[in-house]
Amino acid sequence: MKWRLPAAVGGACVLAVGCADIFGLGSYTQADASASEGGVLCVPELPSGWTFVSYARDPATACASGFGSSAKVQEGPFGPASCACSCAASPPSCATLSINAGATSSTCTDSVVGQIERAPVDGGCVTLSNSINTGGGDGIAVTPLPDGGGCTATATIDAGGPAFSGTTCGLTSTTGGGCAGGVSVPNPSPAALCIRQSGIVPCPTGYPVAHMIGTTIADTRGCSACTCGFDGGCGGSVTFNDNSNCGGGNNQVVPATGVCTSATGHNWQGLKYVATVTAACAPSMPTPTGDAGFSDPATVCCVQ
């Protein structure tokens, strides 16, 4: 079972030293710098349900004298996944042309001349198997028939890891005796002197700096689907010529946009097609999904 931060802990953040420090997002101060290494610390009495531990973030040091049973832990909280989406566009093939001709320049629907397959798109000459005869006022419409084209979507998901990793060591011996308003315990410097309890709980008075720790992460973080919107097509222009080799003679340029264009009176026998190809992709904006937490959460509260 995953644990979530209860409202009571949020309240405790404000009363203590701020949520950034309580859950390890702010500065981190080790144990009382005024106490000499190997000495003792005078700390508040151990609250019920808690145990004394030392805690040090990596790079961890060995357990200090009076502490043992070291355990490697991870520290939260965990942020949402970072999501990004990119698209690679593939242009369509524009090598197929549909040509219509008509007795009027406004419709071009009186007859279908035919469809040209695999027309060169770079101005190469195409000899028409059936010539196109346009008298006065006739029209020609050239429509490219795009084939294929699309987008390849690539999702980038970075869930990140725990905020920190560290080591806890349990108190194995006491110094004996008390001190003014508290109890004497060994100084674990350079680690921090802390108390530990299972679960996510508020820190008691005297131990204000909290760390949410655990050893097993339950992580379902991810991102919504990465998709791409494709926008592509074919255009350009076609130059009709009354010679089958597209050389010399008369010619006329017609836009390759499907628009009916008035043609001069000639018997067109060849054409040259110069295509313009467009291909663009619009990526979606994926949003973070799921969450992460510890399956075995514990709270470590330190004196500093």
Question: Over the stretch 209-248, which tens digit does the pLDDT of each residue have?
Answer: 999 999 999 999 999 999 999 999 999 999 999 999 998 8
Residues 100 and 219 in one domain: no
Q: Which pLDDT score is estimated for 162?
A: 86
- Quick one: what percent of the chain has pLDDT higher than 90? 59
For residues 139-165, give the mean pLDDT.
92
Q: Which pLDDT score is estimated for 104?
A: 65
Pick the residue with more confidence: 16 or 266? Answer: 266
pLDDT band at 15 (very low <50, low <70, confident <90, very high): very low
Q: Which pLDDT score is estimated for 105?
A: 61
Residues 73 and 219 in one domain: yes
Residues 211 and 273 in one domain: no
Residues 246 and 190 in one domain: no
pLDDT band at 72 (very low <50, low <70, confident <90, very high): very high
Residues 166 and 68 in one domain: yes
Residues 179 and 77 in one domain: yes
Q: Which pLDDT score is estimated for 112?
A: 63
Residues 185 and 238 in one domain: no
For residues 176-195, give the mean pLDDT.
85
Residues 63 and 178 in one domain: yes
18 is a domain residue: yes
**Looking at the 3D structure of the chain, how many domains does it have?**
2
Residues 42 and 148 in one domain: no
pLDDT band at 16 (very low <50, low <70, confident <90, very high): very low
User: What is the chain's mean pLDDT, rounded?
Assistant: 83
Pick the residue with more confidence: 213 or 4? Answer: 213
For residues 238-266, give the mean pLDDT.
91
Q: Which pLDDT score is estimated for 106?
A: 65
Residues 42 and 174 in one domain: yes
77 is a domain residue: yes
Q: Which pLDDT score is estimated for 10?
A: 32
For residues 86-94, give the mean pLDDT.
97
Residue 37 has pLDDT above 60, yes or no: no
pLDDT band at 17 (very low <50, low <70, confident <90, very high): very low
Pick the residue with more confidence: 151 or 261? Answer: 151
Lowest mean pLDDT among 59-73, 112-126, 155-169, 171-185: 171-185
For residues 102-122, give the mean pLDDT.
76
Q: Which pLDDT score is estimated for 131?
A: 86
pLDDT band at 22 (very low <50, low <70, confident <90, very high): very low
Pick the residue with more confidence: 55 or 5? Answer: 55
Q: Which pLDDT score is estimated for 47?
A: 92
For residues 250-256, give the mean pLDDT.
94
Residues 242 and 197 in one domain: no
2 is a domain residue: no
The set of residues, in sequence order, having a beta carbon less than 8 Å from that of 84 and lying 6+ positions away, is 155, 156, 286
Residues 34 and 147 in one domain: no
Domain that holds residue 118: 92-154+226-283
Instruction: Record the pTM.
Output: 0.64
